[in-house]
Amino acid sequence: MAAGLKCDPIVILRIDGDDLHEFIKSPSFEPKMVSIFSELELDLEEGSVRDYIMKTLEKLTVEQGIPPASDSWVMSNIIETALQTCGGVEQQPISQETFLVEFRKVAECVAQKLKDQPVIVAHSENTLDGSGIKRFLSNKLELDKILETTLKNVPGNRHEKTPKEYLRVALDAVAPSAGLPPLGTVDQMDKVIGDVFKVLAADDEKVVREDEFKEMLAEILGSIMLQLEGNPISVSTDSVVHEPLASASTLLQPSNSS
């Protein structure tokens, strides 16, 4: 846990509506909303204004002063109640102009709800730049030990299945040691891995010896490292803290996304 906190330090934020008010009044508000609206037009062909507003709130983060909309408490007590307060948005026909006007109203309501009920969020940031993989590959003893353990723990009989199945399972198993997130948790990272597998033909339906398997896995890690060194990926996570924090009102300052 200590190593994880060192790599991904956690900051406790108090989301109380101030940052959201600033975002609504800022010059970046309208361009951001127009960009999101354009994205949503491709996904919500017949969506209502309410649908667009809900999806937009899911796309915004603590940087704009919005706590995680995926949290059930935030959805029920902040977002849903704000929509009820504004009222009538679901009956509006959708257009960019209508969306901008109605979203601003809802955002103001959300900011007021947050002022009445501040939300405590644990926020962490990390940059995947390949340094974790580099350290992992440079320690041959650790590398051999973990690869051997990984092979022993791969389910099934590896001699009868394809490298695709085993290499992806094995890569996920060594991910923590290489400073990588689990497969399926970061879209950009999954794309990098998919591209590497394609270039190295690691998805071929071919059975390989154990030593070849280890070499392929090490080669995959090396290729991922090079990709991340050239194009680092920034990852941030936000989680609502539901347990009461002692003296939170005095110890925690409003978040400063800038």
Please answer whether residues 232 and 127 qualify as being in contact, where contact means their C-beta atoms are separated by less than 8 angstroms.
yes
Q: State residue 150 phi and psi, 5-degree precision.
A: -60, -45
Q: Which pLDDT value is given to residue 91?
A: 59
- As a whole number of angstroms, the distance between CA 196 and CA 218 comes to 12
Q: What is the pLDDT of residues 139-185, one digit of tens each?
A: 888 888 888 887 777 655 555 554 566 788 889 889 999 999 888 88
Q: Which pLDDT value is given to residue 226?
A: 95
Judge residue 95's burial from the number of C-beta atoms within 10 Å of its C-beta, 0-12 exposed, 13-18 middle, 19 or more buried.
Answer: exposed
More confident residue, 213 or 23: 23
Q: Which pLDDT value is given to residue 79?
A: 93
Which residue in this structure is represented by tokens 């991904």?
A: 8
Q: Which pLDDT value is given to residue 8?
A: 57
CA-atom Rg of the chain in angstroms: 23
Q: What is the pLDDT of residues 93-134, one digit of tens each?
A: 688 998 999 999 999 999 999 999 999 999 888 889 999 999
Q: What is the pLDDT of residues 9-65, one digit of tens each?
A: 788 999 999 999 999 999 999 999 999 999 898 877 777 888 899 999 999 999 999
- Per the DSSP assignment, residues forming a β-bridge with 10 are 124
If you ran DSSP here, which 8-state letter would residue 257 be given? -
